[in-house]
Amino acid sequence: MGLLTAIARINSAHPWSHNDAFAGFVLRQARAVRRRGGTAALDVGCGTGNLLARLSTIFPAVVGLEPDEEIAAVAVERFRDSSRVRIEQRRFGGEPSPLYDLIVFVASLHHMPLQAALDAVRSSLRPGGRLVIIGVAKETARDAPRSWVSLLLNPIVGLLRHPRRARTPPLHMRASTAEASQSFDEVRAIASATLPGIRMRRRLFWRYTAVWVNRPEL
């Protein structure tokens, strides 16, 4: 059995969401926003609501957008008794939006036109509000070293997080996916022009992070 085949078999038996590796990063940003008086957060592409549940312990008002009907229904049921969380089955942008203190995209930004989404962010964040992105970009040669490290670490993390063999992927990993069409450098060029001062960084597990604070003077 080849190395890649062995890795694939372990990954299949012990699946985990690469987004989970960045939950701590998102929550640190969220707490910083809350300390500055922020009260409302938006999770774009919220899935079944794992991050929403944690954001609701920080903010008094949290909205989750999920375009997938089946997944949104799961989230609605999950939070039906919550006074803090509201689920909306729709896409981000394209209509007037309330203002938020925090907007989060976790592996969802590449599902939508980048420029339109970033423009919508600008009009949806309060002054001083913060955008946090855990993004997926098209791989290039510059990403190869991180990809190989991620490939080797992936089964180890899966075994540690979920030592029991899984028969099927967990529900929160069954939502529809899309291949990224823009590289990290392409995303950064557009984001930097639209959101001056945005901080972006390549990460492991085929992700990048970005943070932007809406400073009106910029």
Q: What is the pLDDT of residues 48-87, one digit of tens each?
A: 999 999 999 999 999 999 999 999 999 999 999 999 999 9
Assess whether pLDDT exceeds 60 at residue 11: no
Question: Average pLDDT, whole number, for the chain?
Answer: 88
Q: What is the mean pLDDT of residues 20-44?
A: 96
- Looking at 71-80, 131-140, 142-151, which range is the least confident one? 142-151
pLDDT of 43 over the 90 cut = yes
Rounded to whole angstroms, the Cα distance separating 57 from 206 reads: 28
Q: Round to whole Å and give the CA distance between 182 and 101.
A: 27
CB 98 within 8 A of CB 124: yes
**Contact call for residues 191 and 110 (beta carbons, < 8 A):** no
Question: What pLDDT, on a 0 to 100 scale, did the predictor assign at position 62?
Answer: 98
Which residues fall within 8 angstroms of residue 214, CB to CB, at 6 or more apart? 122, 125, 126, 127, 128, 129, 130, 131
Structure token pair of residue 79 = 């939070």
